[in-house]
A and B are shown apart, each in its own frame.
Chain A
Amino acid sequence: EIALTQSPATLSLSPGERATLSCRASQSIRNYLVWYQQKPGQAPRLLIYDASNRATGTPARFSGSGSGTDFTLTISSLEPEDFAVYYCQQRSDWYTFGQGTKVEIK
């Protein structure tokens, strides 16, 4: 089973700052990496598919990069509504999730 490790577990930033979230796979998953955002009490929301493609409705301040085993989600300038938990999910072999990164207000 392919494991995904997200870092850091928590990111404390202020609105307007840049957020950089990491997701590392235990083996190559090519570009089959998806990013989701989840707010308390809500279902996850699709942000990025195939590592770097924004889903419909995802703001341009969200960008994804990487391939193979190392992936990054970048939020260029944090808006108040971006404080949430972010999960990566691999779609190469079964569909495992990372443990999540919480982006909190500093």
Chain B
Amino acid sequence: EVQLLESGGGLAQPGGSLRLSCEASGFTFSSHSISWVRQAPGKGLEWVSDINSSGGTTQYADSVKGRFTISRDNSKNTLYLQMNSLRAEDTAVYYCAREIRYCSGRKCSGPSSDYWGQGTLVTVSS
């Protein structure tokens, strides 16, 4: 069974730091890109960042670029999100999600997020 388990959320002060983790099981972690998506209380979904299967390519939303760093340790089946210079507007539930492309022969679909963790709440407040 595919599982993704986020941890590391909690209360942080403005300007502070937190590191989120996402532990994966039930699939070959090193074969998949993984994304972080967040959801502020009562609001919609916001893509934050993603990383390819090897960890060599990363992307960030403009809202977190330069403050957040995504990384992964394929030997530990774990994804990370280092969050620095936190702001009140970073308050949200943070989800990790497995990326997949459906392939038939040599033709593959665009990416989509097929499995999600249950999320970890980050609250930034003084």
Query: Chain A residues in contact with chain B, CB under 8 A?
Result: 1, 31-32, 34, 36, 38, 42-46, 49-50, 53, 55-56, 87, 89, 91-92, 94-100
A31 to B109 CA separation, bound complex (whole angstroms): 10
Of the residues B47, B114, B117, contact of A97 by C-beta under 8 Å: B47
Contact between A31 and B45 (Cβ–Cβ < 8 Å)? no
A91 to B114 CA separation, bound complex (whole angstroms): 14
Q: How many residues of B contact A (CB 8 A)?
A: 23
For the complex of A and B, the 9 pairs showing the least CB-CB separation, nearest first, are A43-B116, A49-B112, A95-B47, A32-B110, A97-B45, A34-B112, A91-B110, A50-B109, A100-B44
Given contacts A94-B47, A95-B35, A97-B47, contact A55 B112 (CB under 8 A): yes
Query: Chain B residues in contact with chain A, CB under 8 A?
Result: 35, 37, 44-47, 50, 59, 61-62, 95, 97, 102, 109-114, 116-119
> Total number of A-B contacts with CB less than 8 angstroms?
61
Known: A32-B110, A43-B95. 5 other contacts (CB 8 A): A38-B45, A44-B45, A44-B113, A91-B111, A95-B47
